[in-house]
Amino acid sequence: MEENDSTYLLAFIRITHAISSSLDLREVLHLIVKSTCETTGSKGCTLLLLDEEGRRLEIKSSSGLSDRYLGKGPLTADKSISDTLRGKPVIIEDATSDPMVQYPEEAKREGIASIVSVPITLRGRIIGVLRLYTSVPCRFTREDIDFLCAIAVQSGLVIENAKMYEHAARRNHERIRVSPSLEVG
């Protein structure tokens, strides 16, 4: 991940522009992980959100990883690089031997060497993580981490905007359904 500041800035601008051009949450989340993966030249990227109980991480979007790896099993919040859920970016230099990795054998089979995981927050509450996977051992720079954290912040905003839009659309639909029809006479 040898990117310079201007490459990250241009990627951030491109991602931000794309985010603001769609209300489809799935489409925007996919754009985030795909663009992040492409910008960093990484093997893969995932965006995971905590379930309602806060016990599991659910994959909401991914790029560059096989279905086999993505379906390896449930990601338990307290076993899968859990320090990220305490608000800290976490760098795993060797995904095949680090005890924070819940599925090291599957990471090895997938060809994952290193992982960086950053928290996604919404109104000061951690709601998930953005993870980047490399196929070669990688030492992430401060610029790499800052870029990923900025993308994670944008992801939180996207999720909040989508929830507000869905809520408003639902309320509007209910109003239309409940309102008596106007008859023209």
- Residue-wise pLDDT for 83-140, tens only, equals 999 999 999 999 999 999 999 999 999 999 999 999 999 888 999 999 999 999 988 9
Phi, psi values for residue 131, rounded to 5° = -125, 140
Establish how many alpha carbons lie within 13 A of residue 9's alpha carbon, considering only the half-sphere containing its beta carbon: 3
What mean pLDDT is predicted for residues 139-154?
Answer: 92
Residue 160 has pLDDT above 90, yes or no: no
**Domain boundaries 5-178, CATH class:** alpha beta
Residue 37 has pLDDT above 70, yes or no: yes
- The answer to whether 157 touches 120, Cβ cutoff 8 Å, is no
Q: What share of the chain is helix, strand, coil (3-state, %, to 5)?
A: 45, 20, 35
Residue 2 has pLDDT above 60, yes or no: no
What mean pLDDT is predicted for residues 51-75?
Answer: 95
As a whole number, the mean pLDDT across the chain is: 87
